Amino acid sequence: MFKIKIPATTANLGPGFDTFGMSLGLYNSIEVEQKEEGVEIEVAGYGVKELTTDKSNLVYQSMLRLFDIVDYLPPGLKIKLINRIPLARGLGSSAAAIVGGLLAANKLSGEQLTTEQLLNLATEIEGHPDNVAPALLGGVVISTVKEQGVIYKKITPPAKLKTVVCIPDYQLTTAKSRGALPEKVSFKDAVFNVSHASLLLAGLLTEDYQLIGQALDDRLHQPYRQGLIPGLDEVIDNLSEEVLGIVLSGSGPTAIALTLQEEERIGTEMKEFFAKHGIEAQYLVVYPTDQGATIIEI
């Protein structure tokens, strides 16, 4: 019997739409035991009511994709999902399910796929690499998909960087949030994001926290998504002095603050801005982590 521990992730980091992702110290676990026959799936934590426990479950479906490639099928499985990452909030819960399922299946079938192959398969299933890459590899991952597969570079998060996530009490699917994006953007806005994403990377690599704060602005997705997330513009614009910047986490509705200090106070303030719009939210102080998904023997 073994367990896979997979971190939550925050994608985009402001200007890095579909490109930047960072793993966070909040984890789902998947316990896996091989059995003589049958497939038994149990869910604890988030998703007890919503997630399917038959063969359509995303973790199991991801396992089947890998089993199919390596031509192996275990006689039976008992899988327990312990979900601490809230669903459909922009914190990478589906990426965690996919990465966890693939890692579990790879272990059960003799670890035939490399990390690169796992990343490519996870990206194929998820549709974009910016959550699955940091879920698998940890740290901050910059990635893109080319014909030959995912091209990526992992960097270690700046040592002093802390994050607070403020999670509104409603779900927003990535599909709906992507549906709010325009077909075309202006040349000016494209240049704005190229410059900001580049400066953000420079800031992350050189641990220049002031630069990180200056580089977090975005014109490609957040302005279009604000309509789906009442209060987000106020959360982002009303920065207290301690905050480097606040951005939408992935496709939302969670907002994430990047800071060096005062995490609890920042969380309370973010919560209050959502409350002004009648939206209940909870905040969590979760730090970036350099550790991706791990397999633990139990």
Nearer to ligand HSE, 77 or 100 (CB): 100
Strand ranges inside the chain, DSSP E: 2-11, 20-35, 38-45, 76-83, 140-146, 149-155, 162-168, 243-248, 255-259, 281-285, 294-297
**Candidates 125-133, 186-194, 205-213, 256-264; binding stretch for ligand HSE (CB under 6 A):** 125-133
Nearer to ligand HSE, 96 or 104 (CB): 96
Question: Whose CA is closest to 85, among 11, 22, 29?
Answer: 29
Nearer to ligand HSE, 59 or 135 (CB): 135
Out of 65, 80, 107, 178, the residue judged to bind ligand HSE by CB under 6 A: 178
Q: What is the token pair recorded at 207?
A: 């641990």
Taking CB positions, which residue lies at the least distance from ligand HSE? 250
Nearest-approach distance from CB 287 to ligand HSE, in angstroms: 20
Per rule CB under 6 A, is residue 130 in the interface with ligand HSE?
yes
What pairing do the DSSP bridges indicate for beta strands 255-259 and 20-35?
unpaired
Out of 23, 109, 143, 174, the residue judged to bind ligand HSE by CB under 6 A: 174
DSSP 88-136: TSSS-HHHHHHHHHHHHHHHHTTS-S-HHHHHHHHHHHHSSHHHHHHHH
Q: Report how far residue 129's alpha carbon sits from residue 136's, in angstroms, rounded to the nearest whole number.
A: 10
Per rule CB under 6 A, is residue 11 in the interface with ligand HSE?
yes
Annotate 145-165 with b (16+ C-beta within 10 A) or e (fewer).
beeeebebebeebbeebbbbb
Out of 23, 120, 131, 143, the residue judged to bind ligand HSE by CB under 6 A: 131
Nearest-approach distance from CB 111 to ligand HSE, in angstroms: 28
Out of 83, 251, 254, 289, the residue judged to bind ligand HSE by CB under 6 A: 251
Question: Which residues lie closer than 8 Å to 15 by C-beta, 6 or more apart?
Answer: 192, 193, 196, 197, 200, 215, 216, 217, 218, 219, 220
Nearest-approach distance from CB 175 to ligand HSE, in angstroms: 9
Nearer to ligand HSE, 83 or 177 (CB): 177
Q: Which x/- pattern, by CB under 6 A, does the window 16-55 give for ligand HSE?
A: -xx-------------------------------------
Per rule CB under 6 A, is residue 12 in the interface with ligand HSE?
yes
Q: Which residues contact ligand HSE (rule: CB under 6 A)?
A: 11-12, 17-18, 90, 128, 130-131, 174, 177-178, 221, 250-251
